[in-house]
Amino acid sequence: AQSVAQPEDQVNVAEGNPLTVKCTYSVSGNPYLFWYVQYPNRGLQFLLKYITGDNLVKGSYGFEAEFNKSQTSFHLKKPSALVSDSALYFCAVRGPRDDKIIFGKGTRLHILP
């Protein structure tokens, strides 16, 4: 069965520093991987996805994620954090033979001014 894990409930980063939000997954076959962001009192918004091709995926708001097949990871990164990046981030996965996306529990990102 497919699964996704976000090992950190919360990540604190100083403004201007690089940030990483971790995600690992388990699926049978090649995964489809997603990152979504949720701002307070809003629905989830799509950030980026990996389907195939280049392991480094670039998305909205300057975020990027690197697909690492050997480590079954898809960590979200940004070179320089902004206070406005503070939000709840969800990693999601779908296996090639699965019919639905599974979301992780979310990681709350705090960017400190």
Min dist CB 2 to another protein, Å, is 11
Q: Which residues bind another protein (CB under 8 A)?
A: 32, 34, 36, 41-46, 49, 51, 90, 94, 96, 98-106
**Residue 65: how many other CB atoms lie within 10 Å:** 27
Shortest separation between residue 96's beta carbon and another protein, angstroms: 7
- What is each CA distance from 96 to 2, 48, 65, 88, in whole angstroms? 10, 18, 20, 27
- Cβ proximity to another protein: between 42 and 58 the closer is 42
Question: What are the DSSP calls for 46-79, one per residue?
Answer: EEEEE-SS-SEEE-GGG-EEEEETTTTEEEEEES
The smaller minimum CB distance to another protein, of residues 6 and 81, is found at 6
For another protein, the closer of residues 44 and 82 by Cβ is 44
CA distance 98 to 39: 28
Smallest distance, another protein to C-beta of residue 107, A: 11
SS3 state of residue 41: coil
Of 49 and 77, which CB lies nearer to another protein in the complex structure?
A: 49
* Least distance to another protein, CB of residue 113, Å: 26
